[in-house]
Each structure stands twice: as structure tokens, then as C-alpha cells.
Amino acid sequence: MEDQELIDKLVKHELKFHELEQHVDAKKATELRRRTLEVLTGKKLQDISVFSLDAERAVKANIENLIGAAQVPLGVAGPVQVRGDFADGLYHLPLATTEGALVASVNRGCTAINKSDGAASFVIKDGMARAPVLKARNISHAKEALAFLEHNTAKLKEITESTSKFLKFKEIQSWVVGRNLFLRFVFKTGDAMGMNMATIATDKAVKFLESETGLKHVALSGNVCVDKKSSALNLIQGRGKTVISEVVLTREVIKQVLKTSPESMADIVYRKCLLGSALAASYGFNAQFANVIAAIFIATGQDAAHVVEGSQGFTTAELTEEGDLLFSVTIPSLQVGTVGGGTALGTQREALELIGVHGAGEPPGSNALKFAEIVGAAVLAGEISLIGALGARHLAEAHVKLNR
């Protein structure tokens, strides 16, 4: 069919948007959907039409009913000095955001870190979770099922690891509520963020449990994962990468770069990040984790919905005996990957290449761990700068200047 004939059918609802690829290639289908929307709405979609991503690749792995792209300004902060188990050097930080002052803020934090001999940054726990809910006949049956799990861990490890050469079984955490079993399967997933890998592996394990125990599969996700939601469980247990990052900021650096004092910054962290967050019953005992994580996630093709988990965590600041400031961030649930998902799209791939972490690492998993350490240092830089701005009473001035 000719282009106009297809558009007419779409306008008349004789053809659905998702059926276009049956008649034309992905790039042409994208154009025709967009032209149809212009007819239906009377609005020109000129800017949406301009993009460089591979439409064929995107519709296979990332998007349905593609019409174009939403562009977000991309800036760079740093470089920042990072010393970790996998990251060791100076790294530029690509940040995609529409919030003026954010890139400048992170950049200033990087300066403070670099003048203080760099940030130590480590991944202390690594495990992606998927938690199905299964239903037993009664509580006695639930108890029997738990015993079966305990005696068949090796078999479940064999079953789950058969689904991917990169997936490694770690453990099963279990909870019983009435006759309901919530089983949290935890895996290492190499350089992938791993949600799909964990889901596929868990599905195969659940089928085995159904056949062997008589448990009834209710839902492959029972919300104890906990995926893309705020939770005390992820704050305590972690999910994805648990990252800590730290720097000792000298009194002179704080005065020179941040225009405040160690005492003021420590006081703000205590009263704002700890007391204020506790009063609000918030799991984000920090100043702006989500700001930096969201900007890096959008730039590098991570799943932006996981920002809600990354926003949970702790900022701490303590005076040293020398009168300097020991400043740290702890991010219990950071979900990042350097392969899969949006990481293969053009601009996202380039952003990861800019950092030096795109693709599979050697050994497997090392690139994702390196990336997590660098993200931890970026979050540290953002916290330092914002707490410093509050101490110097520069926050409003910065936003007037850079975010109008």
C-alpha cells in the first residue's frame, strides 16, 4: 500500500499503529504514525521527528508504536577522581537533565573531591531480585514447601543458572503470610542490570516448584522484589548494587570551593538529611540522590523507573580529629548495567563509552561494577555541592542564575 493509503486506514481505525510494521519497515512506520497523529490532532511534530537512534533496533528491544524521540539536554561534569575495586582514574560524567544548575552543582562537587585526593567508591553487595508469590493449600503445606526449598537449593541453583551463562544464583529469601509464600530469588547478572534475566530464571524455578510441591503460582512478581517502588526492604537488604562512596574534605577545600565550613555541613546533614528525613518518614536520608542518578540513567540508557530505588540511602558527614570532614554516601539499591536495555541505543552507548564502561567487561560483570562505583562518586559530588550551597546560603542564588 502507498503511504497515504496507510495513513487513511490509520485515521479511520481500519489499521492499528502496531500493525504498521507488517506493511513497511520500522523507520517508515515511525514516520507514518507521526504523520497520522498530525492529521488526528492538527499539531506539527517537527522536533519529535528529528532523531539519530536506530528505529529497527529500538522497536525490537526498547519501544512500541515509535513516533520519534524526546530530546533531553546532555551535559558533562567532572572529571572526578575515583578509587575503587574496578574504577581507578578520572571519569567524565554525562548528565541528561532539564534542571539548570544540576550539572554545575555536580561539577563543583567533583572539584572538591579532586582537591581532596579523590573519592573511594566500592560495591559491597551485588544481587538482582525477583520475588514471586505462591499459594499453598494451608499453613501446614506452606511449612512443608519451605522445608522442600531448604533441601533443594542446589537443584534450584542448577535450574536457574541453566537459563543464562552469565546468571549466577545467590540465595532465596522467604516469607510466609498465612498460606502465601513470598520467595525472593537473588542472582548476580554479569554486566546486565539483570531484571529480565532474573525474571526468566525465576519463572523456570517456579514451574519446578509447582510440579514438585503442589504450590500454586499466583504472580511472578509478588512485590517483595521490590521493583520500582520505595521500600524498607530494599533500604536494608539492597537490590542491584549496594554502593558506598567517601571522601575526606579538608577545611581549606571546603572554604575555597564550597564557601562554608565543615561544622556547617555536618550540622546540615544531621538536621536535614537525618532528622528531617526521619520526621517525614522518608527512606531518602540524603539531599538529592535522585537528581544525579536520574540524570546519569537517562544519559546512559538505564531504566529510569529504578531511580525510585536509587533515591533511597544515606548521606553522612563527620568531623575528623584534624578538623576536616569525612563525607560519605550509601546507596543500597542501585540498578545499573552496561549491556542490554537502552545501553545499545546510539547516544546512550556513546555516553557509556565516554565513561569507559560500555559493553561486557572482562571478567564478566566488571564493567557494571565499575560503572556503579563511578555513579556512587557522582552522587557523592552532588551531595557535597548541595550541602555546601545550603551551608553558604547560595542555593536560591544558584537557581536564579542558572535555572530561570
Angstrom distance (rounded) from CA 245 to CA 241: 13
Task: Please answer whether residues 265 and 325 qualify as being in contact, where contact means their C-beta atoms are separated by less than 8 angstroms.
Answer: yes
Residue position matching grid coordinates 536535614? 272
Q: How far is CA 190 from CA 106, 201, 355, 359, 366, in A?
A: 29, 14, 18, 11, 8
The answer to whether residue 47 is catalytic is: no
Cα–Cα distance between 160 and 183 in angstroms, integer?
14
Task: Find where cell 514451574 sits.
Answer: 207
The angle subtended at Cα 367 by Cα 125 and Cα 351, nearest 5°, is 120
| Closest to 327 measured CA to CA, from 398, 268, 394 | 268
Cell of 187: 542472582
Report how far apart, in Å, the C-alpha atoms of 49 and of each of 28, 107, 237 are.
12, 32, 43
Characterize the bridge pairing of strands 74-83 and 88-96: antiparallel
Euclidean distance between CA atoms 386 and 286, whole angstroms? 10
What is the Cα–Cα distance from 339 to 210, expressed in whole angstroms?
32
Does residue 382 sit in helix, strand or coil? Answer: helix
303 a catalytic residue: yes
- Looking at the DSSP bridge assignments, the partners of residue 211 are none
38 is an active site residue = no
How many whole angstroms separate alpha carbon 227 and alpha carbon 184? 11
Measure the CA–CA gap between 27 and 24, rounded to whole angstroms: 8
- Angstrom distance (rounded) from CA 102 to CA 236: 28
Residue type, 29: A
DSSP 19: G
Determine which one of 23, 217, 394, 399 is catalytic. 399
Q: How many angstroms separate the CA atoms of 253 and 113, rounded? A: 9
Q: What is the DSSP code (8-state) at residue 273?
A: I
Q: Which of 38, 54, 88, 99 is catalytic?
A: 99
Q: Collect all residues with Cβ–Cβ distance below 8 Å to 74 and sequence separation of at least 6.
A: 94, 95, 96, 299, 347, 351
Q: Of the listed 303, 350, 353, 394, which one is catalytic?
A: 303
Three-state DSSP class for residue 376: helix
Q: Which residues are catalytic?
A: 99, 303, 399
